[in-house]
Amino acid sequence: MNLLSACSYTLILLGLSSLFMAEIISPVLFIFVLVLVFCSPFRQSLGLVFGRGAINSVVLVITLWLLFNAFYFGADVLAQLLTFSLTLLVAILYSPKAYRDHLQILLICVFYLLAATLKIATLSFLIMLLAFVVVGIAYLNLLNIRREELRCEPIHQL
């Protein structure tokens, strides 16, 4: 795992924990998505990847369960929208190009944090928001450094 991936997982963990602290998502859903997020680096060895021709049935069932949870158990529109975005996050993490979608992961986690901040605003939560901003800035800097490295690589011709 490189530094950029570590920042990705830190942002996801901060975003999910903010939703849990604000009591927007249930503890069962929080633990389920947390397990899915931490299993995502091993998705290819476990065979849990969205394929190009066919969708893996396990990932499809997980995605459909999260969507059902969004519409059936969501008490309000915000909870439904956040659960739907959890589905999107899991789909991004289990896609073949999961680690190329860094900006999407960052935007989803920012959305989680803003939604939780609107619901509760305590001192401990504001400290968590500050930690999120610091990690987010470091994440964007690492992403820019990576783009510069990719742009400066010489193209090998046959």
In whole angstroms, how far apart are CA 145 and each of 72, 108, 119? 43, 22, 35
Checking if the pLDDT of 154 tops 50, the result is: yes
Of 12 and 104, the one with more pLDDT: 12
In this prediction, residue 53 carries a pLDDT of 47
- Tell me what the mean pLDDT of segment 128-157 comes to: 74
**What does the alpha-carbon distance between residue 147 and residue 19 come to, in Å, rounded to a whole number?**
31
Give the alpha-carbon dihedral of 91, 94, 99, 102, to 10 degrees.
20
pTM above 0.85, yes or no: no
Q: What distance in Å separates the CA atoms of residue 29 and residue 20, rounded to the nearest whole number? A: 9
Distances (CA, A) of 122 to 8, 18, 117, 129, 134: 25, 12, 9, 10, 18
